[in-house]
């Protein structure tokens, strides 16, 4: 092996033979100057953040303790869905919604990209665990990366370092997650602040439970424990093992009578999951606590109920629109420091700012591209997909049971999207299969969380379109089967919500944010059988009197418009749903066609 010459490969802090062999193989291929085993310590964080400041990648924030601003290359700002692949052995297993390439062909393409790609850089070995390390079957991964930004961000987002490596032992399984910026340095070549490549690949090999990422340093493209592992790879594991890996927040809701319900909710990226997870109820006596804001792994407990666990350790939230009025708990979380901000603006006193943080913008800023900015500037100060990356343990309303390895029992699942018309504020599914139909047909306007146009309506089933690691038809079937295998009386009730419906003048019909507690209240009262509903062709919708709008100042007409089921709008959905379902051919469970028939006949 030629790799014996690479400093750091010898005397590795592990005897895990598969891990050692893989690290040696990847070091030999990518030829870094050295290999560093990440321990996750404070000293390491200090050393790497100082290095990132010296490299110009980070600006230390004078106004927040131990916090940094990164400005990325303007071309590397979001997940790249058109460069994301599910490389299953059989193309049919990637399904109609994923990009696919033969795994052997993809490996040969990427092996040539990886050859020598870490020249002049350090290869970091990041042992990590998604979910608690003391779980019965801890979910290990190891990310190799040549990005210090990725190392420090992974330390916020996952349980990393020595504790994970020790628990991995000599032979426990792990998901190999290979990442490179694709920006080798020649001897004497000066580095740039945000190295990356114009060629990008974000690749999952589902059968091997393996991830290869190349060319991007940003978010879900590069922090491989998040979307790549905990959703795409985990969804495949979940299919094979009978559980669910979902794009859902988890919250705890306590009523004035001190009854506790846990709720999971799926929304597409940048549709307010973090805001809902940290909501401050506006109705007296109700309390929300946070367990997770992006991912839920759900398994049946011995009592037959569905238990959810957040596998992450941090929050990677969309910054714009997060403010003291919309999400004060997120503001309190980041104010404690220990955070990395990416592509937001810098204030003159060394703090961060973004659109929506305060009502009045500061008189002068340095924008996310490093230019002078004033309220008269033509462009926003922050990229619409700019992010805060912050430890979840700093959240002041974190539920103490958030890291219980067995999870929390879920009473209700909400699906939601961003729709100007058609979809009522809240609708309860008649039963599990109807709820699966709601999830399978979920639609939303696109956002800045992925590259591409913003505001285009697309089907985003279960808010998982970019994250289902296999054929989406099989995924719908897995949801149907999950319901069949369970005691129906113990399954969570399913609801479809839409905070984004507009009136004829384009204004929002519902105030959203903390007022969404009123919808959560109705949900809980439905579970307890105390709220009334009207049965409509699309499910159970609140009677205007059953929704608590006291003190909101909404007229009866406005409440009715927010809740309205307009058959003419729904009839327009039918051909779109039919076209969507046709994509899946034989893979679509027949129950989904049955549900569509029920909808059609109820609308007739």
Q: Where are the alpha helices (DSSP H) in 405-470?
A: 432-440
- Round to whole Å and give the CA distance between 273 and 267: 6
Site string for ligand PEP, 74-103 (x = CB under 6 A): ----xx------------------------
Q: What is the sign, positive or negative, of the torsion defined by CA atoms of 340, 346, 352, 354?
A: negative
Extract the tokens encoding 157.
């987002």
* 41 annotated as a binding-site residue: no
Q: Is 310 or 477 the residue whose CB approaches Mn ion more closely?
A: 310
Contact partner, 220, from ligand PEP, Mn ion, Na ion, none, Cβ < 5-8 Å per class? ligand PEP
Separation of CA 79 from chain center: 11
Contact partner, 316, from Na ion, ligand PEP, Mn ion, none, Cβ < 5-8 Å per class? ligand PEP
Residue 201: partners with Cβ closer than 8 Å, 6 or more residues away: 83, 85, 106, 109, 110, 113, 212, 213, 214, 215
User: What amino acid positions are annotated as catalytic residues?
Assistant: 271
Q: Is 227 or 252 the residue whose CB approaches ligand PEP more closely?
A: 227
Computed over its alpha carbons, how large is the radius of gyration of the chain? 24
CB of 573: closest distance to Mn ion in angstroms? 25
Site string for ligand PEP, 220-239 (x = CB under 6 A): x-----xx------------
What values do phi and psi take at 335, rounded to 5? -65, -20
Extract the tokens encoding 585.
């051919």
Angle at 524 between CA 522 and CA 529, to 5 degrees: 90
Contact partner, 452, from Mn ion, Na ion, ligand PEP, none, Cβ < 5-8 Å per class? Na ion
Q: Under the criterion CB under 6 A, does residue 267 sit at the interface with ligand PEP?
A: no
CB of 530: closest distance to Na ion in angstroms? 41
H-helix or E-strand spanning residue 50: helix 42-54
Which residue ranges make up the site for Mn ion (CB under 5 A)? Answer: 269, 294
Extract the tokens encoding 64.
């927040």
Q: Is 306 or 465 the residue whose CB approaches Mn ion more closely?
A: 465
CB of 247: closest distance to ligand PEP in angstroms? 7
CB of 567: closest distance to ligand PEP in angstroms? 34
Q: Under the criterion CB under 6 A, does residue 462 sit at the interface with ligand PEP?
A: no
Q: Under the criterion CB under 5 A, does residue 450 sit at the interface with Na ion?
A: yes
* 459 annotated as a binding-site residue: no
Residue 575: partners with Cβ closer than 8 Å, 6 or more residues away: none
- Alpha carbon distances (Å) from 583 to 39, 158, 560, 576: 46, 36, 35, 11
Let me know: does 389 contact 341? Beta carbons within 8 Å. Answer: yes
Q: Where are the beta strands (DSSP E) in 461-580?
A: 493-497, 533-536, 539-542
Q: Is 213 or 269 the residue whose CB approaches Mn ion more closely?
A: 269
Strands 426-428 and 372-373: unpaired
Contact partner, 217, from Mn ion, Na ion, ligand PEP, none, Cβ < 5-8 Å per class? none
3-state percent breakdown (helix, strand, coil) of the chain, nearest 5: 30, 25, 45
**Per-residue H/E/C for 275-337:** HHHCCCCCCCCCEEEEEECCCEEEEECCCCCEEEECCCCEEEEECCCCCCCCCHHHHHHHHCC
If one counts every other C-beta atom within 10 angstroms of the C-beta of residue 532, the result is 14
* 99 annotated as a binding-site residue: no
CB of 273: closest distance to Na ion in angstroms? 16
Q: How many residues bind ligand PEP (CB under 6 A)?
A: 10
Q: Is 318 or 599 the residue whose CB approaches ligand PEP more closely?
A: 318
Q: Under the criterion CB under 5 A, does residue 452 sit at the interface with Na ion?
A: yes
Q: Under the criterion CB under 6 A, does residue 449 sit at the interface with ligand PEP?
A: yes
- Alpha carbon distances (Å) from 545 to 522, 534, 552, 556, 563: 11, 11, 14, 10, 11
- Round to whole Å and give the CA distance between 580 and 445: 16
CB of 247: closest distance to Mn ion in angstroms? 6
CB of 200: closest distance to ligand PEP in angstroms? 13
Q: Under the criterion CB under 5 A, does residue 458 sit at the interface with Na ion?
A: no
Q: Under the criterion CB under 6 A, does residue 402 sit at the interface with ligand PEP?
A: no
Q: Is 300 or 499 the residue whose CB approaches ligand PEP more closely?
A: 499
Let me know: does 223 contact 160? Beta carbons within 8 Å. Answer: no
CB of 368: closest distance to Na ion in angstroms? 17
Task: Please pick, from the candidates 40, 132, 182, 219, the single residue that binds ligand PEP as defined by CB under 6 A.
Answer: 219
Stretch of 15-23, 292-300, 415-423, 445-453 contacting Na ion, by CB under 5 A: 445-453
Contact partner, 446, from ligand PEP, Mn ion, Na ion, none, Cβ < 5-8 Å per class? Na ion
What DSSP character marks residue 508? B
The residue ranges that bind Na ion (CB under 5 A) are 446, 450, 452, 454
Q: Which residues are annotated as a binding site?
A: 79, 218-220, 227, 247, 269-275, 294, 385-387, 418, 513-516
Q: Which residues bind ligand PEP (CB under 6 A)?
A: 78-79, 219-220, 226-227, 269-270, 316, 449
């Amino acid at each position: 092996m030629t790799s014996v010459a690479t400093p750091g490969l010898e005397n590795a802090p592990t005897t895990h033979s598969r891990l050692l062999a893989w690290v040696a193989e990847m070091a030999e291929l990518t030829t870094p100057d050295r290999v560093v085993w990440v321990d996750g310590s404070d000293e390491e964080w200090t050393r790497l953040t100082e290095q990132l400041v010296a490299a110009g990648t980070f600006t230390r924030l004078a106004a927040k303790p131990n916090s940094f601003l990164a400005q990325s290359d303007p071309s590397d700002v979001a997940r790249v869905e058109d460069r994301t692949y599910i490389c299953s052995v059989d193309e049919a297993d990637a399904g109609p919604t994923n990009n696919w390439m033969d795994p052997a062909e993809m490996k040969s393409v990427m092996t040539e990209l990886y050859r020598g790609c870490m020249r002049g850089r350090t290869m970091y070995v990041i042992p990590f665990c998604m979910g608690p390390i003391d779980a019965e079957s801890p979910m290990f991964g190891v990310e190799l990366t040549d990005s210090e930004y990725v190392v420090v961000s992974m330390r916020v987002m996952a349980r990393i370092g020595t504790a994970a490596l020790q628990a991995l032992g000599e032979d426990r399984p792990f998901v190999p997650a290979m990442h490179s910026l694709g920006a080798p340095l020649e001897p004497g070549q000066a580095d740039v602040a945000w190295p990356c490549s114009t060629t990008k690949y974000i690749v999952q090999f589902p059968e091997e439970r393996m991830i290869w990422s190349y060319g991007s340093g940003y978010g879900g493209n590069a922090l491989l424990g998040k979307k790549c592992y905990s959703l795409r790879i985990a969804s495949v594991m979940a299919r094979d093992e009978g559980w669910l890996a979902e794009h859902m927040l988890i919250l705890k809701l306590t009523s004035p009578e001190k009854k506790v319900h846990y709720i999971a909710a799926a929304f597409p990226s940048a549709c307010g999951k973090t805001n809902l997870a940290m909501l401050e109820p506006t109705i007296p006596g109700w309390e929300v606590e946070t367990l997770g804001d992006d991912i839920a792994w759900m398994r049946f407990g011995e009592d037959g109920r569905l238990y959810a666990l957040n596998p992450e350790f941090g929050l990677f939230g969309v910054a714009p629109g997060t403010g003291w009025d919309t999400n004060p708990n997120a503001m309190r979380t980041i104010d404690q420091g220990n955070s990395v901000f990416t592509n937001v603006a810098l204030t003159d006193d060394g703090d961060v700012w973004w659109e929506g943080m305060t009502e009045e913008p500061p008189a002068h800023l340095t924008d996310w591209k490093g230019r002078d900015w004033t309220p008269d500037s033509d462009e926003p100060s922050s990229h619409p997909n700019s992010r805060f990356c912050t430890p979840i343990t700093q959240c002041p309303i974190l539920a103490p049971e958030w890291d219980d390895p067995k999870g929390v029992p879920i009473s209700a699942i909400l699906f939601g999207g961003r729709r100007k018309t058609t979809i009522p504020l809240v609708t309860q599914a008649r039963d599990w299969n109807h709820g699966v139909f709601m999830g399978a047909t979920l639609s939303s306007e696109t956002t800045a969380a992925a590259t591409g146009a913003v505001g285009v309506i697309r089907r985003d089933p279960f808010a998982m379109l970019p994250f289902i690691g296999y054929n989406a038809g099989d995924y719908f079937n897995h949801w149907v089967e999950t319901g069949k295998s369970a005691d129906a009386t113990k399954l969570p009730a399913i609801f479809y919500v839409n905070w984004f419906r507009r009136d004829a003048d384009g204004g929002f019909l519902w105030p959203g944010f903390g007022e969404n507690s009123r919808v959560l209240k109705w949900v809980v009262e439905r579970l307890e059988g105390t709220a009334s509903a009207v049965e409509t062709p699309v499910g159970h919708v609140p009677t205007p009197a059953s929704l608590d709008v006291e003190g909101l100042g909404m007229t009866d007409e406005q409440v009715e418009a927010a809740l309205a089921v307009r058959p003419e709008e729904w009839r327009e959905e039918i051909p779109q749903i039919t076209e969507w379902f046709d994509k899946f051919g034989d893979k679509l469970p027949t129950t989904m066609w049955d549900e569509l028939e029920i909808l059609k006949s109820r609308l007739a």
